Chain A
């Protein structure tokens, strides 16, 4: 299993500013994922972040808006840049134990972001 610490747990930000969300894992993991979840809705994959390579973004998400860092096997950050009220959402960090598809994904408790 993996224990994920995600910070901050919530924040209220002014439009036009940026927020960096941190994800710390208690063990080395190969694959890390960032999701966005609108209240009461499903999880939408933003990007996959593997250590030592550029993050891979899903359709509708771009690096300029959501830059990601993955400096080592236990840590990643997601920045929400130039925020607008439409960015208000829950952002979740997730990790998988390895390349094997049978490994479950573990999740942080999420960051609830409100942009005013």
Chain B
């Protein structure tokens, strides 16, 4: 079974600084996708970024980028120039057939 592990229950960052959220996963499959979702207090799940496992190049979306290490089964999210609106729960997710989520990291942004 696939498992997703987020070892940081909470993280804090100063506004305009950079923060990295960690995620590891366990799978025996070779073809899969990885996602980071953001969940603000509104409960709406918002896609932040996705990574195809067959691509070596790390995905980037504006201030958000990932460090994907397939051999190590690691998929961390880097948020640059943090903004107050980035404060939320962040979930790492793995998808082959269905989607599995990590436990989440609560990010606080300090002004």
For residue A53, CB closer than 8 A to chain B, the reply is no
CB-based contact B99/A102 at 8 Å: no
CB distance from A38 to the nearest CB of B (A): 11
CB distance from A56 to the nearest CB of B (A): 9
For residue B63, CB closer than 8 A to chain A, the reply is no
Chain A binding site: helix, strand, loop or mixed by DSSP?
strand
CB-based contact B91/A33 at 8 Å: no
CB-based contact B100/A102 at 8 Å: no
Q: Which of B45, B91, B106 has the most CB of A within 10 A?
A: B45
Q: Which residues of B contact A109 (CB under 8 A)?
A: 42-44
CB-based contact A104/B35 at 8 Å: yes
* Least CB separation from B33: chain A residue: A101
Picked from B33, B89, B98, B102, the residue with its CB within 8 Å of the CB of A102 is B33
Q: Which residues of B contact A33 (CB under 8 A)?
A: 98-99
- 10 sample A-B contacts, Cβ–Cβ < 8 Å, listed by A number: A33-B98, A33-B99, A42-B102, A43-B91, A45-B100, A101-B32, A104-B50, A105-B95, A107-B44, A109-B44
Give A residues with C-beta under 8 Å from B: 31, 33, 40-43, 45, 48, 90, 92, 94, 96, 101-102, 104-105, 107, 109-110, 112
